[in-house]
Amino acid sequence: MRIPIKMIGVTTTIFWVFLVAFFITAVYSAKDIRFDFGQPQIGVNSSNRILFSLPVTVVNNGFYDVGSFNVTTRVVDSTGSLFGRGSTFIPVIVKNSAVNVTHNMTISANSLLRRNSSLLFNDGTVTLHAIVGLEAAEVIPIQASTNLSIPWGAPFYNFMLGTPTYSLYNSTHLQVSVPLSFDNHAFFDVDGSVEARMFNSSDSQVGDGQTTIYAPQMSSFNGYIDFYVPINAAATPTGHFDVYFQTTMFNYGPWVIPYG
């Protein structure tokens, strides 16, 4: 059976009218889609990884469903160094509805401190770069982005090893006591130990010591590291310490601190 050419023309015209109408209403509908970014949060998850959380609300008051909703985040420091990235995906947001989602991503503290060790000792900020993408009427791509600053508190802010004091321990060794102090400005407790290796002015190791540390968030720590140095080990009034940090969140070292 042959379809009349005139009927084909009418059908094509109807199709294009429908397509144009759909496109116009879909574009118009896009103005009724709203994004809201909440206040980003930083914390620690059960695996002792740093957890970044970003609440996002999408309100779809348009004529059509929204498809392929995706939140992608990147965490960077003030130098632009990338610490990690993550994404959250929702297939469909139906029309005349709102969706609240908390986008989470984690990074290891070891990874962060390897890229920027100054965050161990200095307060600052990290930036959460967030991009939200979706498809209005499940065909028209829409994207929005924002940069959100998150305060960073250093776990070993103002870390100091004081002036060593020497005393005779026994007939073969000296006891060297070194004051240790720092302020924990971080959002997590500092729990672990600090090890220090003592080197004289000739860069020869003359002793090592270790002490347990515990400083709840937003508190100070004051203590000592004791070294037992052989009398014949050529200890000198000047030199340096190689300091190593071992905590439940991260390990870092050596950090070189001169003395004398």
Residue 215, Cα to own-chain centre: how many angstroms? 21
Domain residue spans in the chain? 33-152, 157-259
Question: What does the pLDDT average to over 50-68?
Answer: 80
Report the pLDDT value the prediction gives residue 135, as an integer from 0 to 100. Answer: 61
Q: Is the pLDDT of residue 256 over 90?
A: yes
d(CA 259, CA 256): 10
- What is the CATH class of 33-152? mainly beta
* The CATH number, out of the four listed (3.10.290.10, 3.40.50.300, 3.30.2000.10, 2.60.40.10), of the domain defined by the range 157-259: 2.60.40.10
Summarize pLDDT for 145-202 with one digit per residue, the tens.
788 888 999 999 999 998 888 888 888 888 889 999 999 999 999 999 999 998 988 8
Residues in a beta bridge with 179 = 224
Report the pLDDT value the prediction gives residue 138, as an integer from 0 to 100. Answer: 55
CB 54 within 8 A of CB 38: yes
Summarize pLDDT for 218-241 with one digit per residue, the tens.
999 999 999 888 887 777 788 899
Find, among 155, 233, 229, the residue nearest to 194 by Cα: 155
d(CA 119, CA 75): 14
Find, among 209, 188, 189, the residue nearest to 198 by Cα: 209
Question: What does the pLDDT average to over 58-76?
Answer: 78
Report the pLDDT value the prediction gives residue 128, as an integer from 0 to 100. Answer: 86
Equal fold, 33-152 vs 157-259 = yes
CB 198 within 8 A of CB 208: yes
Summarize pLDDT for 7-20 with one digit per residue, the tens.
444 445 544 444 34
